[in-house]
Amino acid sequence: MDKIKAVIFDLYGTLIYQQDTKPYLRLFLELGLLPEEIRQARRIALTEDFQNLSGFVNRIKPDLSIDLQAYEEEVAQEVESAATFPETKKVLGELRGRGLPLGLISNLGSPYKRSFFNLGLDTYFQKVFFSCEVGISKPNLIIYERMLQELNINPSQALMIGDKVHCDIDPPKSIGMEAILIDRNKQYSSTRSIQSLEEIFQYL
């Protein structure tokens, strides 16, 4: 392993957690979307930026009128429920103290960006990629390649930490990055993993 010069994180399930009541899925079902339409709507939600749910629904069903207040309130409640894992800020602070630049790559819809700022995590990161802002979502390799360019490092000098094998582990490894799964509940036995962010330091 080359000397790691930057650490890149996923957000939800890695640094923070929240109540997950799946308002978007229920909205899709109320809109009568078919499975393929749901996949397309989810892609749009993750890769386009909307000020509110009305803008999003107008994008996927422009001729439809629907009362979205209950969904808006539920999304807001999810955002407000977000919290950092107990060790998150301590670990981020220590990494910064060691002089390591930090990056964030997160697949999320526009409303869920607020949790990152509400919890004060923006102060730790040099570069942040929200999929809804950059127009690309994991596992697309381009989003990783752009992050490497922004941090001015080679793939082998970057360590990615995330909680999903297909998004956070396999793609970065395929381009030469180091990647470690955070598996807090020990669900994966065949993948190198850690159960707490504090275990990162044994790989640095």
DSSP 137-168: -TT-HHHHHHHHHHHT--GGGEEEEES-IIII
Q: In whole angstroms, how far apart are CA 3 and each of 53, 155, 165, 172? A: 44, 11, 23, 16
Structure confidence at residue 2 (pLDDT): 66
Handedness of CA 45, 49, 50, 56 (dihedral sign): negative
107 Cβ partners below 8 Å, 6+ apart?
46, 131, 137, 138, 167
Handedness of CA 165, 181, 79, 139 (dihedral sign): negative
Phi first, then psi, for residue 62 (nearest 5°) are: -65, -25
Q: Where in the chain is the domain with CATH 3.40.50.1000?
A: 6-17+83-203
Structure confidence at residue 171 (pLDDT): 97
Low-confidence ranges of the chain (pLDDT < 50): none
Q: In whole angstroms, how far apart are CA 134 and each of 66, 118, 128, 129, 155? A: 28, 21, 10, 7, 20
Structure confidence at residue 1 (pLDDT): 54
Q: Domain 6-17+83-203 - what CATH class?
A: alpha beta
Structure confidence at residue 63 (pLDDT): 83
Q: Which residue has the tokens 């102060």?
A: 123
Structure confidence at residue 64 (pLDDT): 82
The alpha carbon of residue 168 and the mean position of all alpha carbons in its chain are separated, in whole angstroms, by 9
Structure confidence at residue 192 (pLDDT): 79
Closest alpha carbon to 23 in 42, 37, 43: 42
